[in-house]
Amino acid sequence: IKKGMMRVKQISTFSENNRNRTSLLPYLSLIIIGVIIGSFMNGRSFFSNSTFIEQCFIPSDNNTSVFILIKETFLWAMIFTVCAFCIGLCAFGIIPGVILLLYRGAGIGMSISCIYTDYGRASLFPAAAVIPKAAAFSVIAALSVRESFKFSRGILNYCIKGDICADKAGSFRLYCVKFIVLIILSLFISAADGGLNYILAKVIQQ
């Protein structure tokens, strides 16, 4: 009976903690800090024209097909989300998660800075292609890292205190499902971004 009561208590505690969701504001704040850092990277030889830094936020040239635009954007979103997923499986995932958010923000900041430098006053249309995508992927990044932090914290509690989640397998399944949903959302955003880039390229050509 005691074991049964303990298990019910564990389930109750797990459900209660699950309902306490952390605000996205701290995670978005880290991305904003990354944007500021990235804006100072433009013009430096080590960072300029580096796809690894700008993460395909800069719109491609007019000859790029919609499919390639979607593929490139989705690839980087997929890489980021998978990295966040893996970080959540580590007991000390907080520091890598913070670095990941700063990195995402740096890509946005450098891209916008590059557009302003290259186009000057004519940067309105290129910036219009970057800002909606940057905002959407910032939310995806914040959600990804928030989930990874929660799971990482659970693993750390288990290592230090021996706290055991009541439904460990179910919790991991839910963790996987959340990241699958985030990847699907990233695909939709990438598709919308590819279409927007294509339309803006045609407008600029005219």
Query: Mind listing the pLDDT tens digit for each residue in 71-87?
Result: 988 999 999 999 999 99
Q: How confident is the model at residue 30 (pLDDT cuts 50, 70, 90)?
A: very high
Of the listed ranges 5-14, 51-60, 197-206, the one predicted with least confidence: 5-14
Which amino acid is residue 159, in one-letter code? C
Six-digit token string for 103: 């990195």
**Over residues 152-180, mean pLDDT:** 78
Six-digit token string for 148: 């990874």
User: DSSP letters along 120-154, please?
Assistant: GGGGHHHHHHHHHHHHHHHHHHHHHHHHHHHHHHH
Q: What is the pLDDT of residue 99?
A: 96
**Over residues 77-102, mean pLDDT:** 94
Mean pLDDT score of the chain, rounded to an integer? 80
**Over residues 109-130, mean pLDDT:** 78
112, 39 in Cβ contact below 8 A? yes
Whether this model's pTM surpasses 0.75? yes
Which amino acid is residue 85, in one-letter code? F
